[in-house]
């Protein structure tokens, strides 16, 4: 069954059609990658999934429910969490606090947050620590986010998404800007999450895509030009042309 489905989704910014008639199905429990050259519309598609943007036309259905135009805080409560292409953590907070906030927000209400002590919510703290454990940062829980390396900050971002106990995890280039070693570590983490979550992964690095994906969809100038298994995508002539069209692929 498809956990997420888009029907002919289009997003125009003035004269630019960033996403053009995209119909996509993400199977529950799968890791579905979206690839495509710079500016293909991948991040815009995520912004449409999460309610940060509203489609110009078309429908987005999550778990059988039409979420088109639903504001992002409501989408988050329905169980869609994301990590961003650019690292997005609170640098002056500890790792645990960064993750704790996401775990707390998942409860659905901020009532009492200002006056109740954080340790009154052991279940929230437990979920936050579990998320740090999932990304291998449990030993750094009390360090400030600005004190850890860039690679660890990206792991922290993943933990923040996991702390929300998502049903659908959207990862936008989680290995962007990472060294080869850090990239290997991130790939191992994502592989470890496979099967536990339904994941949509945007990634430029082909070796990552080929190694972890169940399905791959290819975007080019806003449209889907191919979909298939990693092996099918690798030998698809349209995909090869899109990537050879003078666009730099890392």
Ligand X SMILES: Nc1ncnc2c1ncn2[C@@H]1O[C@H](COP(=O)(O)OP(=O)(O)OP(=O)(O)O)[C@@H](O)[C@H]1O
Residues that bind Mg ion (CB under 5 A): 42-43, 85
Cβ-based nearer residue to Mg ion, 38 or 149? 38
Q: Could you write out the DSSP letters of every residue in the chain?
A: -EEEEEEEEEEEETTEEEEEEEEEEEETT-EEEEE-STTSSHHHHHHHHTTSS--SEEEEEETTEE-TT--HHHHHHHTEEEE-SS----TTSBHHHHHHHHHHHTTS--TTTTTS-GGG-HHHHHHHHHHHHHTT-GGGTTSBGGGS-HHHHHHHHHHHHHHT--SEEEEE-TTTT--HHHHHHHHHHHHHHBTTBEEEEE---HHHHHHH-SEEEEEETTEEEEEE-HHHHHT-HHHHHHHHSS----
39 binds ligand X (CB under 6 A): yes
With CB under 5 to 8 Å by kind, the binding choice for 44 among Mg ion, ligand X, none is ligand X
Among 20, 30, 33, 43, indicate the residue that binds ligand X (CB under 6 A): 43
155 binds ligand X (CB under 6 A): no
Query: Please, what is the minimum distance in Å from the beta carbon of residue 249 to ligand X?
Result: 9
With CB under 5 to 8 Å by kind, the binding choice for 41 among ligand X, Mg ion, none is ligand X
Size of the site for ligand X (CB under 6 A): 12
With CB under 5 to 8 Å by kind, the binding choice for 36 among Mg ion, ligand X, none is ligand X
Among 8, 38, 149, 240, indicate the residue that binds ligand X (CB under 6 A): 38
Interface of this chain with ligand X, residues 3 to 32, rule: CB under 6 A = 13, 16, 18
85 binds ligand X (CB under 6 A): yes
Residue numbers at the binding site for ligand X (CB under 6 A): 13, 16, 18, 36, 38-44, 85
């Amino acid at each position: 069954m498809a956990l997420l489905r888009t029907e002919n989704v289009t997003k125009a910014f003035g004269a630019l059609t960033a996403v053009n008639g995209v119909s996509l199905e993400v199977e529950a429990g799968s890791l579905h990658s979206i690839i495509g050259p710079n500016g293909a519309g991948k991040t815009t598609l995520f912004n449409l999934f999460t309610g940060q943007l509203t489609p110009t036309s078309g429908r987005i259905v999550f778990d059988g429910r039409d979420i088109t135009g639903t504001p992002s805080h409501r989408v988050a409560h329905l169980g869609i969490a994301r990590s961003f292409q650019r690292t997005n953590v609170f640098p002056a907070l500890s790792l645990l606090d960064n993750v704790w906030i996401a775990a707390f927000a998942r409860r659905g209400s901020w009532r009492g947050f200002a006056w109740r002590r954080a340790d009154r919510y052991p279940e929230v703290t437990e979920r936050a620590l579990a998320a740090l454990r999932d990304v291998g940062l449990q030993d750094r829980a009390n360090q400030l986010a600005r004190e850890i390396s860039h690679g660890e900050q990206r792991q922290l971002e993943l933990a923040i998404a996991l702390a929300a106990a998502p049903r659908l995890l959207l990862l936008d280039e989680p290995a962007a800007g990472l060294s080869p070693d850090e990239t290997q570590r991130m790939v191992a983490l994502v592989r470890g999450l496979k099967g536990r979550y339904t994941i949509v992964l945007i990634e430029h690095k082909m070796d990552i895509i080929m190694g972890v994906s169940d399905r791959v969809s290819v975007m080019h100038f806003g449209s889907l030009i191919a979909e298939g298994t990693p092996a099918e995508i690798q030998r698809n002539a349209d995909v090869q042309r899109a990537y050879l069209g003078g666009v730099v692929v890392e």
